Structure 1
Amino acid sequence: MSTFKSLVFKRFNSNLKKTALHDLHVSLGGTMVPYAGYSMPVLYKGQTHIESHNWTRTNAGLFDVSHMLQSKLSGPHSIKFLQHVTPTDFNALPVGHGTLSVLLNPEGGVVDDTIVTKENQDNEFYIVTNAGCAKRDTEFLRGELQNNPALDCQWKIIEGRSLLALQGPKAKDVLEPLLEKTAKGKTLKELFFGQRDEFALKDGTLVQIARGGYTGEDGFEISVPDEKAVEFAEQLLANPVMKAIGLAARDSLRMEAGMCLYGHELDETITPVEAGLNWVISKSRRNLTNEKDRFNGYAKIMDQLNNKTYNRIRVAFKYLKKGPAARNGVKIFLPDAQTEVGLVTSGSASPSLNNINVGQGYVEKGHHKRGTELLVQVRNKFYPIELAKMPLVPTHYYKN
């Protein structure tokens, strides 16, 4: 069940939070497990993990991601603040567009990965961060605001809204009949990857829809009022090409797509350069002579970027023969089976690649090139792997 197994199978406790869809998950036969402080469905009755995964790749899957932290940043200095805590140029981001970025601590380590969308010309931004990092993100963002009192902006958590991820090649066919055009007459066909806009459901309920997702397929993330979440989910699930999909398949889908999972591929000791996320460091922000314009960890990150002073780099790999999957923490060795050169961060079978075992990890610089053959040590036995290009499975984003 992939690296997700190490995150969720802990002793259940009564203090877990519940999303607005919790009872619906239970009624659908969801196996509920603790995840990021919430009771979440890992799998549904009548589906295997592989079936759920393949269904999403070929049809459409509905994921409850309401545990993610939705928030808003506003005020005249919002961009200045974002450009202090991230390496991304938000001056260049058009209204209605979002981008992946990373929150950086003063040492250049990743506090969290995040999607940030510019909502309007007044520099209001919609931000989604990870549920498991919600407490740390809140402390970090509030702390950075307190440390920069000259910046006139406000950050607040959005309450009372669920977040649903609709993923797969038929996602648009499921969602489109449930929507009216936007106030400006835009249809779902005119919403491209990375864009976000407000649509109305047939009953007039306003929902915010972002095109994108965590699987590598076309899809949408939809922010809907809690009181409408169950009704909306049931309308989506009434379509025969749609199934509710649990977090186990979400993990294997994201791994094939080359996506990071915070706490595995990312943490506060890892820089975006080491994580292979150089593209989130905007080119316009790589030669900043004024220290006031620089983002957290600027000197370290730019030294790594320009002079390759990092010692490790994120890689993907495939097994070259059968064997048990390499999970988080498994050691990576040179072919001599003596010299340790890295650690696995995620691993599972890949349903899209005939169930061969795949994974991600960090290896020492110099051993990171695609095609390099190494070994993973699982249960005191060695299994040959080959480093592979990310994503492991081609993406199908809807771009103009």
Structure 2
Amino acid sequence: MSMLTEMGKQAKEAAVVLSVLPTPRKNKALCHAADALLAAKDEILAANKADVEAAVAAGIKGAFIDRLTLTEKRLQEMADGLRQVASLDDPVGKVLSMKTLDNGLIIGQKRVPMGVIGIIFEARPNVTADAFGLCLKAGSAVILRGGKEAIGTNKKVVSVFQKALEEEGLPGACVQIVQDTNRETANEMMRLNGYLDLLIPRGGAGLIQNVVQNSTVPVIQTGVGNCHVYVDESADLEKAVRIVINAKTQRPGVCNACESLLVHESLKDTFLPMIGKALQEKQVEIRGDEDTCARVPGAVAATEEDWATEYEDYIISTRVVKDLDEAINHIRRYSTGHSEAIVTENYTNAQRFLNEVDAAAVYVNASTRFTDGGQFGFGAEIGISTQKLHARGPMGLTELTTTKYIIYGDGQIRE
């Protein structure tokens, strides 16, 4: 029996326990895990420091290192996220409908746990806590397979969670980490039918496409974010600057960061120099069309590839468009369906943008950085689904459950 098959077997057994675990016990376990996370702060940060140093020594830099790095603040946020999940309503067991047929059968539908969820992700240690918390509250066991760069951190965090669970009388196998980070283990995990009920990839476009194309386990596609902000002709320019700067620079290495800026042509002589200066003060490289390069000193010419690129870095592509129609058409062509925003004071244009732009989250006069389970009030999130089946947008507790029909009879048989 392979290592992953054994993990799958243990996860199935743990999932049986979780599927009938009362909400108060789940909440108590989550709060205990949050306390344990902070109690092990020094050990976790030491493991993370070693991971970061190894990544830097390997030549990795920029936004990747930011995603990999844990600080006391980020560790506190991970613990807070677990407590927030504990405070949320439990979707498991919720009856969605109930009706009586003419033959007397009473048919209902209720939410039930998914079972065992697998998550393949890259160098984001916070995902370990988010996935553990959400899956536990949703009544499912989870098998995690993180990137090699964060393996020391992830192993330590999972060991803390497992000990906390066992102290609560629950199986440690409710959460497991794949310690072998070779590509072969990821490929084997994609074929773990019979043990995994759902597989969720979190990371860059290459990882996600590999899982989507090669998995025999059902997959929810998440998170590639080529997100746009369109500044309409009626926009409040100071508001637009705040939104664009936040969307691009507040944390550029995440999937809801703005990667492309579209500007109405009537604003090219006013807004472009203004936003160009503001972006460059934040060390953002601007790759623009001819109009942009003519008005923003230091901007470089964009290529066709730039319009479709998720940089996850201090880089933004910028284009002047003649009107709302051209902005929407550009987004339709290059968007990954994640998060799109318009800055406008025109109600009609705002409504058209909301109605005609096809994305998981569409904003009027707000930063794309809000596409996040915590910001939406879901607690931690498992990822941002950019597909349309089962779940779309930030995936919280409800999206990690499925449903089943429950039928009450009194001896009825089918004629």
- Give TM-score scaled by structure 2 length: 0.25
Bigger Cα Rg: 2
- Give TM-score scaled by structure 1 length: 0.26
